[in-house]
Amino acid sequence: MKYEANQQRYATAAFNRCGESGLMLPPVSLGFWHNFGRRDDFENMRQMCFTAFDNGITHFDLANNYGPEPGDAELHLGKILKEDLHAYRDELIISTKAGYGMWSGPYGDWGSRKYLLSSLDQSLTRLGLPYVDIFYHHRPDPNTPLEETMGALDQAVKSGKALYAGLSNYDGEHMKQACAILKDLNCPFVINQNRYSMFDRTIEHNGLKKAVQETKKGLIVFSPLEQGLLTDRYLNGIPNDSRAAKESPFLNRNQITPEKIQKIQKLNELAGQRGQTLAQMALSWIMHDGVVTSVLVGASRPQQILDNIRMFGNTTFTDEELSAIDSITLEQ
């Protein structure tokens, strides 16, 4: 059956500007890190994309190595774009990245000009697109000159294969250095992507959040719910069917100490006082100071996307509430 988008998809949708650029992103963006691989159900992937777009989520975020396996997410979205969403391509922001290991040999990893431009060509082939909207360098490369990596991003844009450049997992100092190079090249660098949550304040400590404000760039964050820790999943310990119980590479039993559970319980109490669930408060906190442009959410089924959209509630916090959150999450 031919897909037709919800005609009311923009009726209540809100968009945030990426720094001072002209690019607008929805507060919630859909990430393709997991659940878009060859072992996943393709029809479920389609329905997740439809659900997102029908509800004003116009940004789909990928990378060359997402799936799993590497390349699978781009292949599957490419099929969905061709078969179902091609009529709406100009309403979508499609982003991809290169920077982690993708193929064997010295040219399939990190940040060389050779790797980034070859990877982008491969990504476009898998996606079936002439260009992506944002092309990111996925992580800093300590062994390649920053000028070379940024030059590759600039060439990607000037060749018409990307509209904007982005950086992922950079700290504040290296981001500012990269920004200066891209400015000299007149390359439209508009956004940074980094991990951020109440439990993970790395971008506050490494200067990235401050640098984003100083350079007037966008910021999109992932893992806002800390792999499920900032939900009601772990309030009473580790459920048998949880990621931690299954020893996920990103969350294991050793990380969920009695002290951590106590912190989660305290945060849940504070959320209740605000009339929110813990997950709602965690997402609202991400957006409270206006620095973050969009939050990346993953999903394994369409209903989770709807749940995430509804989680965004009151983003206003009192000084006392912010102090209490800091006291709980930052205490040793």
Beta pairing, strands 16-17 & 24-25? antiparallel
| Alpha helices, H only, 24-90 | 42-54, 72-80
Which pLDDT value is given to residue 331?
78
Q: Does pLDDT of 246 surpass 60?
A: no
Topology of domain 16-227+285-312, CATH:
TIM Barrel (3.20.20)
Neighbours of 92 (CB within 10 A): 17
Q: Are 28 and 295 in contact (CB under 8 A)?
A: yes
Do 41 and 124 form a contact (C-beta atoms < 8 A)?
Answer: no
Please state, in angstroms and as integers, the Cα–Cα distance from residue 266 to each residue in 3, 259, 263, 277, following that order.
Answer: 45, 11, 5, 12
Cβ-Cβ contacts under 8 Å for 303 (sequence gap 6 or more): none
Q: Where are the domains of the chain?
A: 16-227+285-312
Give the confidence band of 251 by pLDDT, cuts at 50, 70, 90.
low
pLDDT digits (tens, 9 = 90+) for 82-131: 999 999 999 999 999 999 999 999 999 999 999 999 999 999 999 999 99
| Pairwise CA distance, residues 56 & 51, whole Å | 9
Q: Which H or E run contains 195?
A: strand 189-195
C-alpha span between 22 and 133 (Å, rounded): 13
CA angle 319, 320, 322 (to 5 degrees): 65
What's the whole-number mean pLDDT along residues 306-325? 90
Tokens of 85: 């969403």
Tell me: the pLDDT tens digits for 188-241? Answer: 999 999 999 999 999 999 999 999 999 999 999 999 999 889 988 888 777 665
Quote the CA–CA distance of 48 and 21 in Å, as a whole number.
Answer: 29
pLDDT in tens, 58-93: 999 999 999 999 999 999 999 999 999 999 999 999
Residue 321 pLDDT > 90: yes
Checking if the pLDDT of 26 tops 90, the result is yes
Name 103's Cβ contacts closer than 8 Å, sequence gap at least 6. Answer: none
Spatial neighbors of 127 by CB under 8 A, at least 6 apart, are: 62, 74, 77, 78, 81, 94, 96
Residue 257: pLDDT over 90: no
Count of C-beta atoms within a 10 Å radius of residue 130: 9
> Taking the alpha carbons of 175, 176, 178, 179 in that order, is the dihedral positive or negative?
positive
Residue 120 to residue 97: CA distance in whole angstroms: 8
**Which is higher by pLDDT, 256 or 315?**
315
Helices (H), ranges, 55-187: 72-80, 113-127, 146-158, 172-184
